[in-house]
A = this chain, B = another copy of it.
Amino acid sequence: MDNQVFSALLSQARKQHPLVHHITNYVTVNDCANITICAGGAPVMADAAEEAGEMASLSGSLVLNIGTLNAGIIKSMLLAGKAANNHKIPIILDPVGVGATRLRTESCRRLLDELTVAIVKGNAGEIGVLAGADAKVRGVDSAGLKGDPVAVARTFARDTGITVVMSGATDIITDGERVLLVENGHSLMGTISGTGCMATSVTGVCAAVSKDRVMAAATALAAFGLAGERAAEKSRGPGSFKPALFDEMAALTPADILTGARIKSS
């Protein structure tokens, strides 16, 4: 594809510096904050029921990540989500580990039922579980999806009106009509905790500055994947890869997207 639109979208994110409100897990929250800054946004994390809605209404987008959820967190997600919906602020949902436990599955269904979610981003197992496909999740990792992943994602998007991002070696992004495939990324990204969550945060940055969910998500995944590719060249392993990933995400320019994004229509 012509990468001009993705390049312009990253440029816009850097210019607008949107506030990205997160209600997320305590495992990777610091990584989410830092990658949000590197991508051009301003992260804020506020999960108390008393302020979650107020903070969401002030933000450019709302990231909901269920990595370490509990009843209180779900309540805050619903309050923040409703405030976001009222203010037309896009919600990006990362259904971490959905399918692994009843709590995760039921909580995701409730979030999807009660909120208008703009983008849902998960691995093949997670998206498969949400879509009702034959899919498995082990802990927080995908343990397989039977069937054609593009078809599963596309049908789920079409049925729900949500833009779906199924992350993997090739990321699949679809609103039910358009399907984009993003081929940026590096295997080292799978060797650290938090790259999935970080990709969602970067998606939050991009979704805050564009109403085109598919283009926003593709920009985010391509930019983050490209940063991963460059970081891998400078790393000796997963430990040195993480700081390098932040360095490269921060250094990534719209011009880099022009030449380096590998996005194609399916």
- A: residues with CB less than 8 A from B are 19, 21, 25-31, 33-34, 37-38, 42-51, 54-55, 58-59, 67-71, 97, 100-104, 138-141, 191-194, 235-240, 242-251
Known contacts A26-B26, A50-B103, A69-B48: A43-B193 contact under CB 8 Å = yes
In-complex Cβ contact of A34 among B29, B42, B139, B192 (8 A)? B192
Residues of chain B with a CB closer than 8 A to A249's CB: 239
Instruction: Please state if B51 and A103 are interface contacts (CB–CB under 8 Å).
Output: yes
Q: Which residue of B lies closest to A43 (CB)?
A: B193
Residues of chain B with a CB closer than 8 A to A45's CB: 25-27, 67-68
Residues of chain B with a CB closer than 8 A to A247's CB: 235-240
In the complex the two chains form, what is the Cα distance from A69 to B76 in whole Å?
Answer: 13
Residues of chain B with a CB closer than 8 A to A50's CB: 70-71, 101-103
Instruction: Please state if A55 and B100 are interface contacts (CB–CB under 8 Å).
Output: yes
Known contacts A46-B101, A240-B244, A242-B246; can you find 14 more A-B pairs with CB under 8 A? A25-B45, A27-B29, A37-B191, A42-B139, A44-B140, A47-B68, A51-B102, A55-B100, A58-B138, A237-B246, A237-B250, A237-B251, A239-B244, A239-B247
In the complex the two chains form, what is the Cα distance from A28 to B42 in whole Å?
Answer: 15
Residues of chain B with a CB closer than 8 A to A51's CB: 101-104
Residues of chain B with a CB closer than 8 A to A192's CB: 34, 37, 246
In-complex Cβ contact of A141 among B42, B55, B240, B243 (8 A)? B42
In-complex Cβ contact of A38 among B37, B238, B246 (8 A)? B238
Instruction: Please state if A68 and B46 are interface contacts (CB–CB under 8 Å).
Output: yes
Residues of chain B with a CB closer than 8 A to A237's CB: 38, 246-248, 250-251
Residues of chain B with a CB closer than 8 A to A31's CB: 30
